[in-house]
Amino acid sequence: MSFVERIVSIPPLLNARDLGGHPTTDGARTKFRSLLRSDDLAQLTAEGIAALAQLGVETVVDLRWAEELEYAPNPARDIQNIRYRHISLLANTSDEWRAFSEDYEKEKWKLAVLEHVRAELRDVLRAIAESSPGALLFHCFAGKDRTGIIAALLLALADVEPDSIAQDYALSADQLRDAYLARYKETDPAKIIETVRCPEEGVHNMLAYLERRGGIRAYLAEIGLSLDEIQRLRARLRD
């Protein structure tokens, strides 16, 4: 199955897709319409809100910082039949994130997150584990870094092929590049291209780190998730 077939239409989002259909190491495929990832729902049009209903979204987990939420409120908070959760991930503010991320090249920053942002990762994954069985969508602003690491962890727990996890992360760059170049015309194009770059090597480095820690299940237990929570997270993508 191609990555194009996993892309979902939620107007006017640029970077929305399903985590279903990924090949696993034992020859299976991950489940569709269970976990979805996207960019900022604050952009939603009426058509986009209708698309959430059509996709069966019951829970939205917003990973943005409080300052982003204040500037651009999430309409999912007011949609009937959707449970909305806000759990800030990776930093408290954009300034904190810039200071943190500038210390690491993109191929290595996921390792720093796994080491230093454990409580926040645990809280997000716990919220997903505790959610209702219907479709759940998680997102940040661009849907590539904060959203990307949660997606990579969930896919790893489902035993998805490493190359497929890496390709899912890298796809964000293709989804965002042209639109961002058009949207931010006053910015140096090279800077925009580097900003949206999502190197596959970053995921492979992350997976190697997890393997050194005893595997994804051992890492999730180490950061505070119970066996039941880990099993429920896995069941999100595996029968």
Residues classed as catalytic: 140
Q: Smallest Cα–Cα separation from 25: which of 202, 174, 211?
A: 211
Residue indicated by tokens 């049009």:
45
Name the token pair of 186.
Answer: 């006053």
* Alpha-helix runs per DSSP H in the chain: 46-54, 66-71, 94-101, 109-116, 118-129, 146-157, 162-183, 189-196, 200-212, 216-222, 227-235
